Amino acid sequence: MQKVLILDFGGQYNQLIARRVRELNVYCEVHPHDMPLEEIRRFDPIGLIFTGGPGSVYLPDAPKVDPGVFALGVPILGICYGCQLMAQMLGGRVTAAQDDSAREYGKTPTVFDESCALFTGIGGESVTWMSHGDYMAAIPTGFVLAAHSAACPTAAICDAARGFYGVQFHPEVDHTERGRDMLRNFLYGICRAAGDWTMADYKTQAIEAIRAKVGNGRALLALSGGVDSSVAAALMSEAIGEGLVCVFVDHGLMRKNEGDEVEAVFSKRALNFRRVNAEDRFLSRLAGIEEPEKKRKIIGEEFVRVFEEVAHEVGAVDFLVQGTIYPDVIESGKGEAAVIKSHHNVGGLPDCVDFREIIEPLRMLFKDEVRQLGRELGLPEALISRQPFPGPGLAIRVIGEITKEKLDLLREADAIFREEMARAGLDRTANQYFAALTNMRSVGVMGDGRSYDYAVALRSVQTGDFMTADFSRLPWELLDRVSVRIVNEVRGVNRVLYDVTSKPPATVEYE
């Protein structure tokens, strides 16, 4: 399988680059910018992409790559910071913009030279998404200018002989009108990609790898009933059959009636299904904890401890299987990358785990790819299209300290919101929606008397990959109906808010 290597310099759109490459049926991975040269050689990429980043390449502590990457004979595409880095390291000169007019942020009309292979078939002019305060004052020997805007004469550069290309804008974002076509040109026209990344192939390779690893051993899978763990269960079941034990931990942080619903669905399948009721132990460990990262780490550790206990009861279980997916890994931090939030099944894991090894068969897949794999495995569409629900459950939708009273309050409010979304026919069009309990209490008037109760926040987003998301434009009539019901039916709530923040700068979940 051909592979593209994306070297990460810390930009906000970096994981979106990976999604765009995968969408074009080329496998890729994101690794830290300081990945050793020998590891890059072993990875054997057909092309490299340098991402954007917040730094300035001319500063002493600016992140760089091993200079040896330019001698690998592999095509390179530099994006924003990555473009400037390539220019600076190969003999060009990058400086800070001398005045505001030279800085560019947002949608920018850009003119292209279609003789450059990166812009073949693009058309002479279209809109790109710029986000830079530095610019290339001089380009390296061997490069030519390939695009410009009103404020930036060096919007793109290319050295066709060596296969080096750089763009000052971001082709990976939707605001760049022909960005996907540019990436396609780089992958297929310049890197000569075969387009051999498919879910059918991934399924076959993953099953073979699981069988080779587990052999005649046994594996315990953490089954939440969500899309990721369900697909992981189907994949593991196909690979090792009766060697799989699926454990559903009801940690008391589920939505209304969800524990019983999960048991009803999976206890009928040949998955050696076990349900562990562990509400008291989880809530006891979480008592008095308000800091989000601590919550996640406590939940991650307690999950593993429960699995260890079940493994000892079952006997001879060597492997722990998790439905970890690529956004979990990325957001939990990798190398020098920023930690957005520690996912309970990644950064929340304890240092000591009483299993020989952890298997994560979906670790390199994005959410939509997981759904594709589920279809390849023959799972029902109702399960594949199910609303995402995080492993830590309502713990990350209750802001501040967690109590059973708060959880019960949130369960009722969330159930009302989900019921009304379904009644309005919007449960399939919104990619994720839920209620969260804020830590804010405010004065209200209920029954001619003063109340001092909680505010519930409603959240609904549209997204294709969960790396970026936009808030749903829900009808006012629906929000009005949900608000009236929650305030009237859920004791302890006197205010309902609707979250209109996209990701970034927010995340989909609250903690």
Q: How far apart are CA 76 and CA 82, in angstroms?
A: 10
Q: What is the DSSP letter of 185?
A: I
170 is catalytic: yes
**What DSSP line would sit under 54-77, residue for residue?**
SS-TTSTT-----GGGGGS---EE
Residue tagged active-site, from 83, 152, 172, 376: 172
Largest CA distance in the chain: 79
Residue tagged active-site, from 28, 80, 83, 191: 80
Q: How far apart are CA 373 and CA 202, in angstroms?
A: 8
80 is catalytic: yes
Long-range interactions of 378-382: CB distance < 8 A, separation 24+: 378/234, 379/230, 379/231, 379/234
Q: How far apart are CA 331 and CA 340, in angstroms?
A: 5
Angle between helices 227-240 and 367-376 (to 10 degrees): 40
- In sequence order, what are the beta bridge partners of 273? 246
CA separation, residue 488 to residues 219, 412, 436, 446, 479 (Å): 47, 11, 17, 9, 14
125 is catalytic: no
Backbone region of residue 407 per phi and psi (left: phi > 0; alpha: psi in -120 to 50; beta: other values)? alpha
Three-state DSSP class for 184? helix
Residue type, 177: E
Residue tagged active-site, from 170, 251, 343, 344: 170
CA separation, residue 250 to residues 116, 278, 280, 289 (Å): 57, 6, 10, 20
DSSP H or E segment with residue 148: strand 144-149
Q: How far apart are CA 414 and CA 422, in angstroms?
A: 12
Catalytic residues: 80, 170, 172
